[in-house]
Amino acid sequence: MNNLIERLAVVIVMALCIFLLFIGGTSVKAETEHNVLRDIKTWQWPLQLDEGRFTDYFGTRGGTHKGVDIAAPTGTAIMAANDGIVYFSGYRGSYGNVIMVKHENGLETLYAHLHKRFVVEGTEVKKGEIIGTVGSTGNSTGPHLHFELHNGEWNSSRTNAVNPLDYFVLEQETDERERKILFSPWTMQDKKLIEFEEVKQQKIKKTITIKKNDTLWDIAQVEQVTVASIMEWNDLKSDLIFPGQEIFIYDEDTYVVQSGETIEDIADSLDVEVDFLVALNDLSHEFLYPNQILKIK
């Protein structure tokens, strides 16, 4: 009986030691992570505050939006948030032109939808250094910077993403009322959130009223934009249109394919990568036809 009690006591003591060790390790890890993220207060916000306006925040779209969006004119300078090394600079799917930077303590930043990239993979960047410019490449309806902060390596699920606005100090003297104005450009219309309509309004080229026998293909050819863009701008679920319907056309940088041209010829003439044009235009193959409209930015 005594042996049994002694054994139980040993097991209980061992379990208690393991529990305390686990709790202690978790506390150290949490404290370390807190200290790492706390240092971000000394980092540089990637855009000057007077050059942009927030249009979307971390955690929106059902929790799938893992960064913040700041609308600004095309060509606005984007700065590195802190010293680091560029480990990706190129075109990547919905991000469009994107730059990814590794910083100390395992932190990473991501800058997407860029118009131009001024750094390549392996470049050492300094805090505040200009690394690119605002654009509207990839899955974007207007010029803006999509900015992500990761406490760990970036992955396709972005499980290490954290809210930049929880850690960056944007403006020391901004009072609460001004902060709400600065950070809240959303408006409510027909019970839907409309994303920064000012940007779209600045880009509107014309409004077209559909006539009998009009097709999106015909309109795209005349306006030299893509059918896909017309559908996106007007929230069309299909290419079916009807007389009297109004659609909006925006300015878009495009290229009209000439007879005999290949995707390689066009990429070479524009000084861009073939993969960039294929991804930008969602091409399932590289076969082109005369008068086809391609997006080039």
Q: What pLDDT, in 10s, does the model give residues 122-139?
A: 999 999 999 999 998 888
As a whole number, the mean pLDDT across the chain is 77
The two tokens of residue 97 are 């032109």
| Cβ atoms < 10 Å from Cβ of 208 | 18
Are 263 and 277 within 8 A, CB to CB?
yes
Residue 205's pLDDT band (cuts 50, 70, 90): low
What residue spans define the domains of the chain?
A: 2-41, 44-189, 200-295
Residue 37 pLDDT greater than 80, yes or no: no
Residue 112 pLDDT greater than 70, yes or no: yes
In the chain, % of residues over pLDDT 90: 24
**Selected residue with higher pLDDT from 25 and 167:** 167
Per the listing, tokens 């800058």 go with: 111
Residue 202 pLDDT greater than 60, yes or no: no
Residue 93's pLDDT band (cuts 50, 70, 90): confident
> What 3-state DSSP class applies to 206?
strand
Q: What is the pLDDT of residue 38?
A: 63
- Name, of 6-15, 172-181, 199-208, 247-256, the range with top average pLDDT: 247-256
Residue 102 pLDDT greater than 60, yes or no: yes
Q: What is the pLDDT of residue 18?
A: 61
Q: What is the pLDDT of residue 285?
A: 67
Question: Position 234: which residue type?
Answer: N
Q: What is the pLDDT of residue 262?
A: 87
Quick: pLDDT tens for 43-58. Answer: 889 998 677 788 888 9
**Selected residue with higher pLDDT from 170 and 141:** 141
Residues 6+ apart with CB under 8 A from 186: 55, 193, 194, 195
**Alpha carbon distance 162, 110 (integer Å):** 12
Q: What is the pLDDT of residue 275?
A: 80
Torsion angles phi and psi, residue 102, rounded to 5: -95, 135
Q: Which of 94-103, 116-125, 189-198, 237-246 has the lowest mean pLDDT?
A: 189-198
Quick: pLDDT tens for 54-86. Answer: 888 898 878 889 999 998 888 889 999 999 999
Q: Which of 16-25, 112-121, 233-242 has the lowest mean pLDDT?
A: 16-25
CATH fit for domain 200-295, picks 3.90.245.10, 3.40.50.720, 3.30.930.10, 3.10.350.10: 3.10.350.10
Give me the long-range contacts of 93-98 (CB less than 8 A, separation at least 24). Answer: 93/138, 93/139, 93/279, 94/138, 94/139, 95/138, 95/139, 95/146, 96/135, 96/136, 96/137, 96/138, 96/139, 96/140, 96/280, 97/132, 97/135, 97/137, 97/138, 98/138
Q: What is the pLDDT of residue 147?
A: 95
Average pLDDT over residues 192-216: 63
Q: What is the pLDDT of residue 204?
A: 55
**Selected residue with higher pLDDT from 164 and 110:** 110
User: Based on C-alpha coordinates, what's the Rg of the chain?
Assistant: 25
Q: Which residues of 120-152 are buried (b: 16+ CB within 10 A; e: fewer)?
A: eeebebeeebebbbbbbbbebbbbbbbbbbbbe
Per the listing, tokens 């940007």 go with: 199
Classified by CATH at the fold level, domain 44-189 comes out as Glucose Permease (Domain IIA) (2.70.70)
Residue 144 pLDDT greater than 60, yes or no: yes
